[in-house]
């Protein structure tokens, strides 16, 4: 058979070679991600995990991170989703410039973002002197930092999701007698829902993990990232385990939510 069709044979050999390469690359990457976690298990064995996990400063930091990340994500969604819609649907002057501005927090190292935020909101800044609110070393400071670094995570996926909704659905809805605002809430948002939800989830996770900018703006009260940083500085690696374990539990929860959103969407729309 192979003598009759040498092309077929060579294809098979190539395909196997390709598969083999993919498996090797994939395994190395997975190993790279998992290896440090294995190390974590060994460290965990030498401490009383249950006691460490419920350490008050750990719990407080974790709750603070979740609370502030939720508030940041909600505020971002109020401003970010309409902006994403405008970028996806409207043609206007300086649109390219706005697109560039949107990705600035993604490109800037978080520490640099924190520095410029401190310069803008610090106690000696124009805003800091004008408005009687503690923008730094406060919950407000944490939220400002999180919002700055997480904003692209909401805007970019939502923009892509809006761009993926064919505008013929919106036109059809308007021809059927619905006003623009009603079309936005009844057609556009539900059809772009997956992208928007994934963006919200990513922004939330990014906010929880935020360190650099928060460190500059608001070292106190401690978020979970700053707590891990400080625990490491004071007590070494062992001390960081409870914070890391809580974040791992959270990441499993986030992944479950993400998979649920995707599965629900593909079942409903067949996309």
Our separate counts of H helices and E strands in the chain read 13, 0
Establish if 221 lies at the interface with other proteins (CB under 8 A): no
Considering beta carbons, is residue 38 or 176 the nearer one to other proteins? 176
* φ, ψ (nearest 5 deg) of residue 19: -60, -45
Give min distance, CB of 162 to other proteins, in A. Answer: 15
- Strands of 129-222 (E only): list them: none
Considering beta carbons, is residue 123 or 166 the nearer one to other proteins? 166
Establish if 261 lies at the interface with other proteins (CB under 8 A): no
Give min distance, CB of 88 to other proteins, in A. Answer: 18
Contact between residue 52 and residue 45 where contact means Cβ atoms under 8 Å apart? no
Give min distance, CB of 173 to other proteins, in A. Answer: 7
Give min distance, CB of 145 to other proteins, in A. Answer: 36
Report the C-alpha gap between 269 and 262 in whole angstroms.
Answer: 11
Contact between residue 43 and residue 237 where contact means Cβ atoms under 8 Å apart? yes
Instruction: Choose the binding region for other proteins from 72-80, 95-103, 144-152, 163-171 (rule: CB under 8 A).
Output: 163-171
Establish if 260 lies at the interface with other proteins (CB under 8 A): no
End-to-end CA distance of the chain: 41
Considering beta carbons, is residue 171 or 220 the nearer one to other proteins? 171
User: By rule CB under 8 A, what count of residues binds other proteins?
Assistant: 19
Report the C-alpha gap between 96 and 38 in whole angstroms.
Answer: 45
Neighbours of 165 (CB within 10 A): 20
- Residue span 166-185 as binding mask against other proteins, x where in contact by CB under 8 A, dash where not: --xx-xxxxxxxxx------
């Amino acid at each position: 058979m192979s003598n009759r069709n040498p092309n077929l044979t060579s294809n098979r050999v190539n395909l196997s070679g390709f598969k083999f390469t993919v498996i090797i690359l994939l395994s190395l990457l997975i190993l790279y991600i998992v290896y440090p976690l294995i190390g974590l298990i060994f460290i965990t064995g030498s401490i009383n995990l249950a006691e460490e996990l419920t350490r008050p400063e750990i719990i407080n930091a974790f709750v603070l991170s979740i609370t502030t990340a939720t508030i940041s994500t909600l505020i971002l969604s109020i401003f970010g989703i309409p902006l994403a819609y405008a970028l996806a649907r409207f043609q206007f002057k300086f649109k390219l410039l706005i697109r560039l501005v949107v990705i600035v927090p993604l490109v800037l190292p978080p520490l640099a973002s924190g520095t410029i935020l401190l310069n803008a909101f610090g106690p000696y800044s124009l805003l800091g002197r004008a408005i009687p609110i503690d923008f730094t070393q406060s919950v407000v400071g944490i939220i400002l930092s999180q919002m700055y670094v997480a904003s692209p995570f909401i805007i970019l996926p939502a923009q892509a999701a809006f761009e993926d909704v064919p505008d013929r659905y919106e036109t059809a809805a308007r021809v059927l007698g619905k006003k623009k605002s009603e079309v936005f809430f009844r057609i556009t948002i539900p059809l772009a829902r997956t992208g928007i939800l994934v963006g919200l989830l990513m922004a939330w996770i990014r906010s929880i993990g935020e360190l650099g900018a928060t460190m500059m703006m608001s070292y106190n009260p401690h978020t979970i990232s700053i707590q891990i940083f400080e625990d490491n500085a004071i007590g070494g690696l062992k001390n960081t385990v409870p914070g890391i374990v809580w974040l791992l539990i959270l990441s499993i929860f986030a992944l479950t939510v993400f998979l649920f959103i995707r599965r629900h969407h593909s079942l409903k729309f067949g996309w």
